Structure 1
Amino acid sequence: MNAEMVLERVAHGGYVVGRLDGKVVFTTGGLPGEMVRVEITDRGARFDRGWVTEVLKAAPGRVVEPCPIARRCGGCDWQHADAATQLQLKTAVVAEQLQRLAGIAWEGEVEAVPGGLLDWRTRVRYAVDDDGTVGLRARRSHDIVALPEQGCLIAAPGPTVAELEAAAEPGVDLEVTVADGGVTLTSGRRVTGPDPVRQHVLGRTYAVAATGFWQVHPAAAETLTRAVLDGLRPEPGERAMDLYCGVGLFAGALAGAGCMVLGVEAGRGAVELARHNVPEGEFLALPVERADRKMPSWADLIVLDPPRKGAGAAVVRAVAAREPRAIAYVACDPAALARDLRTFAEAGYEPVSIRGFDLFPMTHHIECVAILHPAS
């Protein structure tokens, strides 16, 4: 079914909301204020999904997508929007989520980082079909969209498409990691290039497993670390915790500021690297949700950088119970951030600042850093 409608507002997840006969349609490929023709792709009881097949009246921020597979590939959401419009869309999403889920009236703006819209993603997982063709998953599908001749335009400079196909194994995902020390390709158990890789942030070198977690934008690790340090203002001798610490990025920054640091991370491999990266810190290889009794009963500062689903009420209450003077919450999903901030408010902590960063250009993803203090 194709129908005409006016798109109203941006929604979390890379959608723009429209209505057909009063029913909400979460639409891909549009911008707020546009008149479009939409094909309904999924029907539900409360809302439908659709994608724009024709733009009848374009918004001022619309541009031609630079990538020829942008409309089919699931990797990008906003290639049809210029840089300023992307920031406006993401700002609106953060503000809406904070207001709706936490009752917080946020008046900030999502901040751009150096590097532009393309050539930034340092970690990419490519899908490989049974014939060895390398591509990316289609939107909301397991189908594989073959890479164009120029490759993925948001990927950091690295292997060509021909080099990717030469390294690929049919039916096995191929991961590419571009780090400070070179490029690593991982296909199943076959690794070509350094592993672990090296990353440099604020004077400290971090070893990271080639397929382990690290921020994918080259400016992200330093941007987030500076935001955490600026917000917490650590003092020498303070006791700090880094929860969901990974390989110790924030633990290293806090140790560098003279703090006594405890890191907690579920992944044993990541903890081994964290102990190497931050030898002056202590680390527990436990899920944060199960580490409460192993952690000290108090701390001056706590950083938490949970996965996309957020920390959850139990972890939030455990953090607040230690009565830190300041908390830094690093979030890759504004909805999860808002839910956890609501719980923090119930536990006596309120945000004194919330910053958003566009560390995933062309996509709907946003990174935020909230600094919390005890409620006055």
Structure 2
Amino acid sequence: MELNAQERLKIGEVIQVEIGPVAHGGHFVARHNNQVIFVRHGITGEIAKIKITAVNSKIAHADVIEVITPAPTRVIPPCSYAGKCGGCDFQHVQVDQQREFKRNIILEQFLRIGKIDLLQMGFDLKVEAVEPADGLHWRTRMEFAVSNGGRIGFYGARSNDVVEINDCLIADSRMNVAELANRTWKSDARVEVAVSSTSEVSVVRSGRSISGPTQLIEQVGGNSLKISPSAFWQSHKLAPTTLVKAVISKLEIKKSDHICDLYSGVG
């Protein structure tokens, strides 16, 4: 539903809303005078004051600036950059509830885009826990922007501004992000860091390897694979093994079978 200029919310306007269901992209849906608002940093069921950050003829975007009635699953984010950088959407939410939100997003996407009701079809969809249980230090591939001051960081949500960081709590600790954050980088650089299952660490600056091997060794299911640090690879350190086991458990493979993994990013 399109609204005329008089009906639309204004950028910078502060209003009070009840936070509705989770949506794709780290947002929650709220409504105000028939206008749909995609809100960051809220939780379903909360009463909050929000500040409008963007508006068009159909929707608005906003950030929570004050929680009036918090949800029981709200927590203090472990990361001091949560809510500033655009990297983590749900650090203010208990980890178990984060998984429930991800489940709801999958169900909603299938229903809204694919017109497929998974629950009605009998699928008991569940987002299972994978170590580490606290949801930190799991990511084995990181890409950093560089600020005008030469420090690494991440872009803010819906922004080209770089939020400088001193560390990243979702990065695998073997990357030593704190050491990289102490360096001065060219402001137009893009810094990629990857760590393999064999603990090799590679740093790539704007497509050029500056430390570590140019090919990482990944071990999955008893096999060793050579992977470029910039190639697609599952970013969660347990994802490759978990996914391979899940597929194999459903295939009823015989010793004489040959299995091909096609169009999988790394071939």
Is 2:221 the counterpart of 1:202? yes
Asked if the contact 1:207–1:247 (Cα under 8 Å) also holds between the matched residues in 2, the reply is no
Match of 2:74 in 1: 62
Alpha-carbon distance change, 26 to 160 in structure 1, aligned in 2, over 3 angstroms: closer
Match of 2:141 in 1: 123
- The structure with the largest helix share of the pair is 1
Which shifted more, 237-246 or 70-79?
A: 237-246
**Alpha-carbon deviation of 1:163?**
3.3
Asked if the contact 2:151–2:181 (Cα under 8 Å) also holds between the matched residues in 1, the reply is no
Match of 1:212 in 2: 231
Match of 1:103 in 2: 117
Is 2:52 the counterpart of 1:40? yes
- 1:335-374 alignment, distance < 5 Å: none
1:132 aligns to what SS in structure 2? coil
Is 2:251 the counterpart of 1:232? yes
AA of the residue aligned to 1:177: A
Match of 1:12 in 2: 24
Asked if the contact 2:151–2:183 (Cα under 8 Å) also holds between the matched residues in 1, the reply is no
**Alpha-carbon deviation of 1:70?**
0.8
Match of 2:171 in 1: 155
Which of the residues 4, 22, 33 maps onto 1:21?
Answer: 33
Whole-Å separation in 1 of the counterparts to 2:264 and 2:35: 43
Whole-Å separation in 2 of the counterparts to 1:233 and 1:128: 48
**Alpha-carbon deviation of 1:238?**
4.3
Whole-Å separation in 2 of the counterparts to 1:190 and 1:198: 16
**Alpha-carbon deviation of 1:247?**
2.8
Unaligned runs of 5+ in 1: 249-376
Match of 1:223 in 2: 242
Is 2:194 the counterpart of 1:177? yes
Greater RCO (CA < 8 Å, at least 6 residues apart): 1
Match of 1:144 in 2: 162
AA of the residue aligned to 2:149: D
AA of the residue aligned to 1:104: L
Match of 2:4 in 1: none
Asked if the contact 1:206–1:247 (Cα under 8 Å) also holds between the matched residues in 2, the reply is no
AA of the residue aligned to 2:148: D
Summarize deviations over 1:217-236 as a string: whole Å, max 9, x none. 11000011111111222334
Q: Percent identity?
A: 33
Q: TM-score, normalised by structure 1?
A: 0.62
Alpha-carbon distance change, 198 to 39 in structure 1, aligned in 2, over 3 angstroms: same
**Alpha-carbon deviation of 1:240?**
4.7
Asked if the contact 1:168–1:187 (Cα under 8 Å) also holds between the matched residues in 2, the reply is no
**Alpha-carbon deviation of 1:112?**
1.1
Alpha-carbon distance change, 160 to 91 in structure 1, aligned in 2, over 3 angstroms: closer
1:72 aligns to what SS in structure 2? coil
Whole-Å separation in 2 of the counterparts to 1:236 and 1:169: 53
Which of the residues 88, 91, 98 maps onto 1:86?
Answer: 98
Unaligned runs of 5+ in 2: 1-12
AA of the residue aligned to 1:184: S
2:21 aligns to what SS in structure 1? strand
Alpha-carbon distance change, 204 to 239 in structure 1, aligned in 2, over 3 angstroms: closer
Is 2:211 the counterpart of 1:192? yes
AA of the residue aligned to 2:147: D
**Alpha-carbon deviation of 1:87?**
1.2
Which of the residues 52, 63, 69 maps onto 1:51?
Answer: 63
Q: TM-score, normalised by structure 2?
A: 0.87
**Alpha-carbon deviation of 1:195?**
1.5
Q: How many residues align?
A: 246
Match of 1:264 in 2: none
Whole-Å separation in 1 of the counterparts to 2:62 and 2:88: 16
**Alpha-carbon deviation of 1:211?**
1.3
- 1:313-352 alignment, distance < 5 Å: none
Whole-Å separation in 2 of the counterparts to 1:170 and 1:13: 28
